[in-house]
Amino acid sequence: MKAIQISEPSVMTVIDMAEPTMGDNEVLLKMRYVGFCGSDLNTFRGGNPMVKMPVVPGHEVGAEIVKVGSNVPDGLKPGMTVTVNPYTNCGKCASCRNGRVNACEHNETLGVQRWGAMREYIALPWEKVIPATQLTPRTCALIEPMSVGFHAVNRAQVTDIDVVMVIGCGMVGMGAVVRSALRGATVIAADIDDEKLALAKEMGATYAINTKTENVHARLQELTAGFGPDVVIEAVGSPMTYQMAVNEVAFTGRVVCIGYAKSEVSFQTKYFVQKELDIRGSRNAQPSDFRAVIHYLERGTCPVDRLISSEVKPEKALDAMQEWSANPGKVFRILVDFQ
């Protein structure tokens, strides 16, 4: 079967793999669409320290069940459209003991710490297969990245009386915008790209700030009557945006960090104390976040086509990744079509 492999920085090829065998507790999936995400781009560029090459990337899945093992529950049947929870959990670490399996100390995400889903078929434990029968496989490939943003909103405990600033309007940030709006919050989207900001407003943001061309502090003071946002969700992963989050959040506000900064970040730590801030990490997503995204997408109001920048066959994946690497700010999602 065909698979896409990154063997070293900037080297991506289509390889031939043996089709997987399926255990009694597993489900055999036929990939329909698999999305490239930011971690795949970092792997391609050689900047992902969690990856050991060569690796098959991919963990954003829209698939169809082909076959189920003898111990798989009746709720999973051949022909079903599904997505995948791509994270593992050990069941023994502090995170797992506390029920927060998404932050398992020993997690291995598909396409990162273990070979991923950019292949024609994959066999996975049935517990990791999530039915989405009312959605197309193409739409299903958007569920995982949006669920990461949904989870961050849950971590922030957003309510309808909050003003929420989301820094970074990629796919994960868009998920945070959507769920904050669904909870009734007033959402301020922040990004350096006006097209992404316009789409964020279409997806639920009330206000938009271009952090490259506008005075962010002055604009936030204007929009929040001088208080600052109650919640800031950082979905970029740069020193500047981390500092912006701490500087701009309201006194006694919550800062939730999704993005991995690739270098050290210096803070005026007095704000931690003076503002009595809650600063929280947000990693991956819980099964409930996947269900919430599916429920949202089933409404049919999400502009799915505008979130998909391009669709390519496996043989054209290298070209698409090279173009993304050259102009990363203009891409939401690239889907690889394995149909």
pLDDT single digits (tens) 266-295? 988 999 999 999 999 999 999 999 999 999
Provide the domain limits for residue 220: 146-281
SS3 66: strand
Residues 7 and 136 in one domain: yes
Structural domain contains residue 292: no
Sign of the torsion formed by the C-alpha atoms of 324, 330, 332 and 335: negative
Is residue 106 domain-shared with residue 193, that is, in the same domain? no
Residues 203 and 231 placed together within one structural domain of the fold = yes
Share of the chain above pLDDT 70, in %: 100
Residues 35 and 52 in one domain: yes
Residue whose token pair is 């994946």: 317
H or E element at residue 240: helix 239-248
Residue 241: CA count within 13 A, CB half-sphere: 28
Same domain, yes or no: 152 and 135:
no
Residue with token string 């999936």: 29
pLDDT digits (tens, 9 = 90+) for 71-106: 999 999 999 999 999 999 999 999 999 999 999 999
Average pLDDT, the chain: 96
Predicted confidence (pLDDT) at residue 31 exceeds the cutoff of 90: yes
Question: What pLDDT is recorded for position 296?
Answer: 98
Same domain, 133 and 168: no
Q: Residue 320's pLDDT band (boundaries 50, 70, 90)?
A: very high
Q: What is the rounded CA–CA span in Å between residue 32 and residue 153?
A: 29
207 and 163 within one domain: yes
Q: Quick check: 330 pLDDT over 80? A: no
Q: How many structural domains comprise the chain?
A: 2
pLDDT(48) > 90? no
The amino acid occupying position 6 is I
Q: Is the pTM of the predicted complex or chain greater than 0.75?
A: yes
Read off the CATH number of the domain in which 100 is found.
Answer: 3.90.180.10
Q: 152 φ, ψ to 5°?
A: -60, -35
Q: State the pLDDT confidence band at 260, using cuts at 50, 70 and 90.
A: confident
Contact 338, 120 (CB under 8 A): yes
Residue 263 has pLDDT above 90, yes or no: no
Strand partners, 191: 210
Q: Answer whether residue 181 is part of any domain.
A: yes
Please give the biggest Cα pair distance in the chain: 62
pLDDT at position 47 is 87
Per-residue pLDDT, averaged over 167-190, amounts to 97
Residue 37 domain-assigned (yes or no): yes
